[in-house]
Amino acid sequence: MSLSGIISLTLALVLCPLLIGVINRIKAFFAGRLGVPLLQLYYDLAKLLRKGAVYSRTSTWLLRAGPAVGLACVLAAAALAPLGGGGALVGFEGDLILFAGLLALMRFFTVLAALDTGSSFEGMGASREVQFSALAEPALLLGLTVLATGTGSLSLNSIYSRLGAELWGKAAPALVLTALAFSVVFLTENARIPVDDPNTHLELTMIHEVMVLDHSGPDLALIQFAAALKLWVLGSLIVGVLAPVHSGLLWLDCLAALGGMLVLAVSVGVVESSMARLRLMNVPRLLLGAVVLTVLALILILR
Amino acid sequence: MTILLEGVTVLVLVTNLLLLSSSRLNYCIRVVAAQGALVGLLPLLMHFNELAARVLMISLAGMVLKLLVFPWLLLRAMRGVDVRREMEPYVGYSLSLLSGVGMLIVSFWIGSRLPLAIPGLRHSVLPMAFFNIFTGLFLLVGRRKALTQVLGYLVMENGIYIFGAAVVLEAPLMVELGVLLDVFMLVFVLGIILFHISRDFDHLDIDRLSALKDWHGAEDEPAAFAPEHSRES
């Protein structure tokens, strides 16, 4: 537990809804609209938290547990993931497996909650979510393996504190490939455009949004906040690879990481505005491509 | 310089993976063009310290040919025969990508066991050469359209070119120019052949050419290669 860890977790908790706001503003800019306010998600969360929740009579405790467990998992993952080059709140040998496991547990409970409603649409979304995540997870784990091999460490915290100019000088191509694969994982896990369209209202094409249709009020607030936090956490993995700033000054490191996150949000907005959603049958090929990139990176760094 | 060389090498590897996973011919032709340009850069980077005029000349000629002339010829052939994408390859795209991983591992294994001509060079150029050759072979046997097979030949030629540049320090000028001329003629002639195949048979699928037979008699055996052949519909 360190000062930088507390700062990075606090920044994640406070600023993650802003990231969504930035992405939405960029998309609005490209579409020629004015767009929603930057702080819209904060307003939404405040509004939803004041409302009551409605539960279907056919649902059980699983529907209620889903959002809470999801948020708890992503909070724990946020405590493990360092922001950019800064430190994480907790870290131990092998916590990168726990990190991937927490994200998987969050997904598992979201899927259970979706299936619990008994709606066929939600079951369809859950099936797709699981299918794509099963392909994205090898890319995430192999990418983390590349970083662990390169830095000779098994804890996210020390991996990201050892990433720096020295490793970039030795193995730049492997790191670029890993960052690319992480970006695909990032877009998939956060239901972003080449894989899933967060704005779609056509149930047949939805993946993630369809699973949370039956949640309302505070539950929906928890889900939206957890999604924003997940975006931040996975984004910080990419920023930590691409812009590892270790100046020794805490505020400078944090500032650099925040700048990196801003650039990441802007580029997500650009990607979403300039690309169309892939056909569902082509998504596995994209994810397989990410896996192949990490395999290539692993070969390059093992040599 | 080594980091630049490494970067170009990895880019070439990635272009091969793109070729294995994509079905749009237009896109594949452009990717092969980009690969040709990257491959042309490699000798320049490898011999950067003692850059001879002939290395420069051959590289530049190769790059112009592969970046501008080949795509132009192939795109023209593609428009002429009116095919857009590889519809039903023998090996699916996901499986092709996975086989790509296997080929990648094998090429790195072979590449680590062969000596290099230039000392100091990290062992990633040879694996790349082998990966190019394997990818080219894979495209030749795994795809159905004649145009993709031409691309497979080009990818293989890139691999052999790199293998030569990395293992043999200096191939004679005449040999390299001869190879370039041969490849140029291959693309040129195949473009014309493709056009004629598609005009005569209405398709570009190589496997159906195996139905071609000698005529044993004019009447008792109707032409086996007629376009409206019943099995094909």
Can you tell me the distance from the alpha carbon of A187 to that of B23, in angstroms, rounded to the nearest whole number? 23
Beta bridge partners, B85, equal: B24
Domain locations in chain A?
Answer: 3-302
Contacts of A288 in chain B (CB under 8 A): 21, 94, 97-98
Instruction: Please judge whether B97 and A303 are an interchain contact, meaning their C-beta atoms are less than 8 angstroms apart.
Output: no
Q: 3-state DSSP helix/strand/coil percent for chain B, to nearest 5?
A: 70, 0, 25
Q: Is A14 exposed, middle or buried (0-12, 13-18, 19+ CB in 10 A)?
A: exposed
Residue of A nearest to B124 (CA): A300
Contacts of A138 in chain B (CB under 8 A): none
Does B196 score more than 50 pLDDT? yes
Nearest to A296 among B6, B94, B104 (CB): B104
User: Percent of chain B having pLDDT more than 70?
Assistant: 83
Query: Which one, of A144, A227, A95, lies nearest residue A136 by Cα?
Result: A144
Range of the domain at B47: 2-232
pLDDT at B232: 42
Instruction: Please judge whether A303 and B108 are an interchain contact, meaning their C-beta atoms are less than 8 angstroms apart.
Output: yes
pLDDT at B214: 62
pLDDT at B233: 40
Q: How far is A291 from chain B (nearest CA, A)?
A: 9
Can you tell me the distance from the alpha carbon of B138 to that of B106, in angstroms, rounded to the nearest whole number? 14
Residue of A nearest to B14 (CA): A293
CB-based contact A200:A213 (threshold 8 Å):
no
Q: Is B3 on the interface with A (CB under 8 A)?
A: yes
pLDDT at A118: 86
pLDDT at B201: 74
pLDDT digits (tens, 9 = 90+) for A115-141: 998 888 888 889 999 999 999 999 999
pTM of the model: 0.88
How is A103-128 classified by DSSP, letter by letter?
A: HHHHHHHHHHHHHHT--HHHHHHHHH
Q: How confident is the model at residue B231 (pLDDT cuts 50, 70, 90)?
A: very low
Residue of B nearest to A176 (CA): B7
Does B230 score more than 50 pLDDT? no
Contacts of A302 in chain B (CB under 8 A): none
CB-based contact B70:B32 (threshold 8 Å):
yes
Instruction: Please judge whether A300 and B101 are an interchain contact, meaning their C-beta atoms are less than 8 angstroms apart.
Output: no
Q: How many domains does chain B have?
A: 1
Does A69 score more than 90 pLDDT? yes
Does A7 score more than 70 pLDDT? yes
pLDDT digits (tens, 9 = 90+) for B46-73: 777 777 787 788 888 888 989 999 999 8
Can you tell me the distance from the alpha carbon of B100 to that of B108, in angstroms, rounded to the nearest whole number? 12
Which of A131, A170, A178, A296 is most worth mutating to test chain B (most B CB atoms within 10 A of its CB)?
A: A296
Q: How confident is the model at residue B23 (pLDDT cuts 50, 70, 90)?
A: confident
Average pLDDT, chain A: 90
CB-based contact B127:B111 (threshold 8 Å):
yes
Q: Is A288 on the interface with B (CB under 8 A)?
A: yes
Does A185 score more than 50 pLDDT? yes
